[in-house]
Amino acid sequence: MRIACLQAACGATGVQQFLERLRTAARRAADEGAELLVTPEVSIGGYPLQAGNLAEASGPVDGPQCAEVSAVAREFGIAIVHGWPETDGPDVYNSARLVAPRGETLAVYRKAHLYGRAERTLFTPGAEAVVQASFGGMTLGMLICYDVEFPEAVRAHALAGTDLLLVPTGLMRPWEVVARTLVPARAFESQLYIAYANWTGDHGGLSFCGHTTVAAPNGTTYAITEDREDLLVVDIDPMVLKRARASTTYLRDRRPELYA
């Protein structure tokens, strides 16, 4: 399965501006043969989070914001992962949604590990550790940004059979080590692919470090190393998964009775 990860220039944007960028990225990804496009954390609304953009971007999973993304997926025949502030009654979640090429919702994940005072003020933490969907003959899972920095969260996906972990993120400087070192380590130690799509650039006093990465279970990594908006296109190979899991047997050799 071929996937594309959008590394987007940061800045709070309106919903229509985001949809124009998404349409451009979806067209390019589809033209390059990608079946799935992954966008950064809170891609509807953008970073840094501002009250006006947050209010415009917020809505339920069956709201107009998600419906617009579904229309883009149908237009280009490509699955899309997008982030947005999901409302559910009085609660607002930092959520990611996986949309099928025909526009239907395949999965919604709510960020469980909220980072810093701002996120804890704006959002309610999610309560479901492992969210999965089947697509392209593979089992896809989702985490968001800070979640992937917890080895337990990634290992839970590995034990549940996730093949490709989709991680919209908003990683800032000086934490480039997460993208460069930790994400590849997570993919290797839990024997799955990780697609990590980040913002880049400076805005509103925040500096996002880019380095959008796809890490394979055999230690191979693909990344955008320049600080620019771009698309990372990578083939996810089931045979790489099979061979890596056969040769690196962490999941089989673990002794959970010792870790409680």
Q: Which residues are catalytic?
A: 41, 111, 145
* Bond preceding residue 168 cis, omega within 30 of 0: no
**197, 5 Cβ separation under 8 angstroms:** yes
Give which of 227, 164, 212, 224 is closest to 40, Cα–Cα.
212
**167, 142 Cβ separation under 8 angstroms:** yes
Q: How far is CA 167 from CA 76, 97, 111, in A?
A: 22, 11, 10
**74, 66 Cβ separation under 8 angstroms:** no
Backbone φ and ψ for 167, nearest 5 degrees, come out as -130, 90
Residues in the chain: 260
